[in-house]
Structure 1
Amino acid sequence: MSVEVLDGATIVSFVEDEEAFNEMLKEFQSLRVFETHFGIDVKRDPDELAHVYDSLFVKFDHDANGAVDLEEFRKETKQMMLAMANGLGFLPVQMVLEEDSFLKKAVQREAIKMDA
């Protein structure tokens, strides 16, 4: 983990970089966010887990065909990240970021651009 400074523009720039965003999506798809707590498997209430996944599925399945395709996943993920950027605004904030998190990747991408 590391402490980084970022603002909404960092996230927007990352989302607008199609190559970087699509690479992050591949990694994001494989996460098991609800089954782990800081990387340790935990037992969740099956009904609670089903409810969370059902509500996410409805939100992501735009064409209501019973499946979430890559483009639907991409659009919803992009919307969530832009909402996060909007919430941060233009004022820089310090955040503790995990090394492989999408926010850390956004900060690293911005640092590379500034060095160039």
Structure 2
Amino acid sequence: MSVVILDGSTVRSFVADEAAFARSVDARFAALDANGDGVLSRAELRRALESFRLLDGAGFGSAEPLPLPAEVAALYDAVFEQFDADHSGAVDHAEFRDEMRRIMLAVADGLGSQPLQVAVDDEGGSFLLEATEHEAAMVAAKVQEESRKAAEEADSK
């Protein structure tokens, strides 16, 4: 587990970098495509969603009951339908990338402009961790470029 500091602009910048975002999403897609057929089945996407453990109840010691299996199945079906834009029964690369873009931009809107500390899983390939690493690389490149220009100016004097 890592803690990162980010805001909505961090996520938007990552999504706007088409090449970096595509590499990240395509790597996640490949990891989810268990049978390697180039599309995500309902079962493959469900396994991914289950790994997030979003429906494990309200937490340790909570009196909240676990959702009923039918409710869980309906939720997973609804999420799959959201990803499967063409209703083909499978999610292809383009559908996955488009929906992940929409999700990440919604996350950016939710984060707003105030920097927040966020705990992220650094072993599962977190999009938020990748967004902060992308931002750090961009800042480092800018600083390096400014240092290079300053050195060139100093050498020309």
Q: TM-score, normalised by structure 1?
A: 0.80
User: 2:49 maps to which residue?
Assistant: 33
Q: Deviations over 1:53-85 (max 9, x none)?
A: 311121122222322221111111100100010
User: How far apart are residue 47 of structure 1 and its match?
Assistant: 4.1
Q: Distance in 1 between matches of 2:138 and 2:130?
A: 12
The code of the aligned residue for 2:22 comes to N
Partner of 1:41: none
| 1:53/1:12 CA distance change after superposition, 3 Å | same
- Which whole-Å CA distance do the structure 1 matches of 2:139 and 2:104 have between them? 22
Range with bigger deviation, 7-16 or 95-104: 95-104
User: In 2, are the aligned partners of 1:8 and 1:89 still within 8 Å (CA)?
Assistant: yes
Gaps in structure 1 of 5+ consecutive residues: 38-44
Instruction: State how 1:5-44 maps to structure 2 within 5 Å.
Output: 5-29=5-29, 30=32, 32-35=48-51, 37=53
Select the structure that is richer in strand.
1
Alignment of 1:1-116 (within 5 A): 1-29=1-29, 30=32, 32-35=48-51, 37=53, 47-99=70-122, 100-116=125-141
Q: Using the aligned pairs only, state the percent identity.
A: 43
Q: Which amino acid aligns with 2:95?
A: E
Give the gaps of 5 or more residues in structure 2.
33-46, 54-67, 142-157
Contact 2:5–2:115 (8 Å) recurs in 1: yes
Q: CA RMSD in A?
A: 2.3
- Higher radius of gyration, 1 or 2: 2
Query: How far off is 1:16 after superposition?
Result: 1.0
> In the comparison of the two structures, how many residue pairs are matched?
111
Residue identity matched to 1:67: A
User: Distance in 1 between the 2:50 and 2:134 partners?
Assistant: 28
CA distance in 1, matches of 2:101, 2:14: 10
Q: Distance in 2 between matches of 1:76 and 1:5?
A: 24
CA distance in 2 between counterparts of 1:48 and 1:26 reads 30
